[in-house]
Amino acid sequence: MPIKTLHIGLGPIGAGVVRQVSSRKGFKIVGAVDIDPAKIGMDLGDVCGVGRKLRVKIAGDIAKTIRATKPDVAVLCTSSSLKRVVPEFEAVLKLKVPIVSTTEELAYPVRGNAALAKKIDALAKRARVAVLGTGVNPGFTMDALPIALTGVCESVTAIEVARVQDASIRRLPFQQKIGAGLTREEFAQKVIAGSVRHVGLAESIAMIADAMGWKLDKVTDEIEPKICERETSSQFLTVKPGQVCGIVQDGVGYRKGEAIIKLHMEAYLGAPESFDAVRISGNPALKMMIAGGVHGDVATAAITVNSIPKVLQAAPGLRTMRDMALPSYFGG
Amino acid sequence: MPIKTLHIGLGPIGAGVVRQVSSRKGFKIVGAVDIDPAKIGMDLGDVCGVGRKLRVKIAGDIAKTIRATKPDVAVLCTSSSLKRVVPEFEAVLKLKVPIVSTTEELAYPVRGNAALAKKIDALAKRARVAVLGTGVNPGFTMDALPIALTGVCESVTAIEVARVQDASIRRLPFQQKIGAGLTREEFAQKVIAGSVRHVGLAESIAMIADAMGWKLDKVTDEIEPKICERETSSQFLTVKPGQVCGIVQDGVGYRKGEAIIKLHMEAYLGAPESFDAVRISGNPALKMMIAGGVHGDVATAAITVNSIPKVLQAAPGLRTMRDMALPSYFGG
């Protein structure tokens, strides 16, 4: 019996999820919802670049669509912000449907989101279904993967993760989120406004700290622009020398004044070498490198799809990648 | 409340587990059992090289020790062979105590061990406790870790893992298990007798195949000697040119005639560079490398200890690293 999926949010990531679900065994797409009036009424395959009709008409109302289509699971890709997705979660959980979401702030609830996370946990438990926030980052490269590596350590004193990505192959919203093409001043303003940033370092730090049993006394999350030296372009935009070509972001977790979790991210157009690296200080010390890195857009959609069967097996409540079964590809 | 542990089997790995458990927060060692008459009656700390008395006297009888000490969990490090540990598992499970074991054949039941695995699963379910087989390999570097990496893939067509280790820093039984110091002829005889080999490639292949949903039509496991070119020594032995300094072992899983899982292991005295490498063919393709590798003895004891709190939370029955929560360091 294939797993019946409902897709809520059909931006680039949501569309990527639809493309993967529609091409893998083990799934049947039964419904899709978006708030964009231009998408409502259209065929899901057309909107998501599947290359064929999926014979699923995009709707605007979550509850109505669930009642009409009876999905086994909802995949929710609408916003990075936990606060913004709460009404959508309420609508889905009221009808007792489990959720896999790419909402970054749901990947691991930080202190400021504790009340919202508690609310979602309570709703999920009442509905007797599991809810999971996942993605490649947060959700894997800078948290679940380094945590899994510590599984072979008899002691861990510090964890450093570096993720460097050539952003020119990423989706347009990602390139915008990292400020590509802005002036320094525009970049600084957008950082203050919160529209230029990677959401997730605080979540990844909290996940690592809890997994290690570390009580942190301070967490910082700092953003700097990467300035373009040579003109560089992506499919979507061109950046001139002196303009911003991307972001350098550092998240640090301190315990007793010592930086014991360091997450370093660079994402900019024209990065010469993409990679994901983990360094664990402890015994044994571990130095892991993924040359070429893990492609963010494909991987975020993939880990979301791969998590679907696991969420159906998980205990009710708000789950995280820490307490889910080992990640793995799912091909039906 | 610390977790009360019972330690069964006090060879090098079992002793390593005791050293880690006794030095970490969150545990209290309440009992220890070994079959060696020379160890029975001695203090556990003395036998395991802890550097201090643990005030736990080593006993010879599992059931009696459990009744007297009421452990929360038993750590069982007695044999690679599932068949040989079944009586010990029966004794422990009859008294409803969960088990973490380094028995390699328990890391993932292969077809030939299906009946024994089923028996242990049934015993564990009747006792309402979980049983886990784990270790660094099998249990992590050549199975759980590559499987976890596929969690970010939208497709996987093949998985290759290479583990190369300088065996000169490993324990003596490991150096013997890889044939260091033998002549070619002795090596060949011991391979036939089954005393020179790494146990676990078939288990790792089965774990990967099941995780990927691949039905294999053939699994091979082939052993070759690594011949010493320059005299090389470890703490325990010296190998002369022309003698065997270690093992090269290849496990391959075939589907429709195609080698889709390839596990390559080299472990010999004097290997110039230890590493663990994973290559996943698919989308995204992934190339992971742990420079220096994961030290087998420390890591096997560590993943065993780190699994203890997870086994106490796991569903009853025979579990594997595939369905356990994400591996992680546990420091109490």
Mean pLDDT of B200-222: 97
Is the Cβ–Cβ distance between B324 and A326 less than 8 Å? yes
Reading the block at residue B272, the tokens are 């110039």
Per-residue confidence (pLDDT) for residue B117, from 0 to 100: 97
Angle CA B1–B6–B8, to nearest 5: 160
Is the Cβ–Cβ distance between B11 and B173 less than 8 Å? yes
Interface contact B152-A140, CB threshold 8 A: yes
Contact residues, chain A, for B156 at CB < 8 Å: 329, 331
Per-residue pLDDT for A296 more than 90?
A: no
Which residues 150-179 in chain B show a CB within 8 A of chain A?
A: 150-156
Per-residue confidence (pLDDT) for residue A169, from 0 to 100: 85
Reading the block at residue B167, the tokens are 């065996």
Angstroms from B11 CA to nearest CA on chain A: 18
Instruction: Enumerate long-range contacts of A62-65, CB under 8 Å, 24 or more apart.
Output: A62/A8, A62/A33, A62/A88, A62/A91, A62/A92, A63/A91, A63/A94, A63/A95, A65/A6, A65/A31, A65/A32, A65/A33
Neighbours of A81 (CB within 10 A): 16
Contact residues, chain B, for A298 at CB < 8 Å: 154, 283-284
Find the residue in B nearest to A20 (Cα).
B154
Rounded to the nearest integer, the mean pLDDT of chain A is 96
Nearest Cβ partner for A294 among B145, B284, B303: B284
Q: Is B324 on the interface with A (CB under 8 A)?
A: yes
Q: Is B327 on the interface with A (CB under 8 A)?
A: yes
In whole angstroms, give the CA distance from residue A202 to residue A251.
Answer: 7
Tokens 């008409």 correspond to A57
Q: Is B255 on the interface with A (CB under 8 A)?
A: no
Q: Where are the alpha helices (DSSP H) in A128-256?
A: 144-149, 172-177, 184-193, 201-212
Interacting residues of B116 by C-beta distance below 8 A, sequence separation 6+: B82, B83, B86, B109
Residues A251-265 pLDDT 10s: 999 999 999 999 999
Per-residue pLDDT for A298 more than 90?
A: yes
**Closest among A296, A327, A148 to B151, alpha carbons compared:** A327
Per-residue confidence (pLDDT) for residue B134, from 0 to 100: 98
Count of A-B CB contacts under 8 Å: 169
Per-residue confidence (pLDDT) for residue A57, from 0 to 100: 98
Give all strands of the β-sheet with B317-319 in edge-to-edge order. Answer: B58-59, B27-33, B3-8, B73-76, B99-101, B130-133, B317-319
Which residues 268-307 in chain A show a CB within 8 A of chain B?
A: 282-292, 294-295, 298-299, 301-303, 305-307
Residues B22-54 pLDDT 10s: 999 999 999 999 999 999 999 999 999 999 999
Nearest Cβ partner for B152 among A211, A294, A324: A294
Per-residue pLDDT for A170 more than 90?
A: no
Interface contact A147-B211, CB threshold 8 A: no
Contact residues, chain A, for B2 at CB < 8 Å: none
Interface contact A292-B289, CB threshold 8 A: no
Which residues 195-254 in chain A show a CB within 8 A of chain B?
A: 211-213
Find the residue in A nearest to B308 (Cα).
A151
Per-residue confidence (pLDDT) for residue B295, from 0 to 100: 86
Q: Is B86 on the interface with A (CB under 8 A)?
A: no
Phi, psi of B282 (to 5 degrees): 155, -155
Q: How much is the ipTM here?
A: 0.97
Query: End-to-end distance of chain A based on CA atoms, in angstroms?
Result: 10
Neighbours of B229 (CB within 10 A): 10
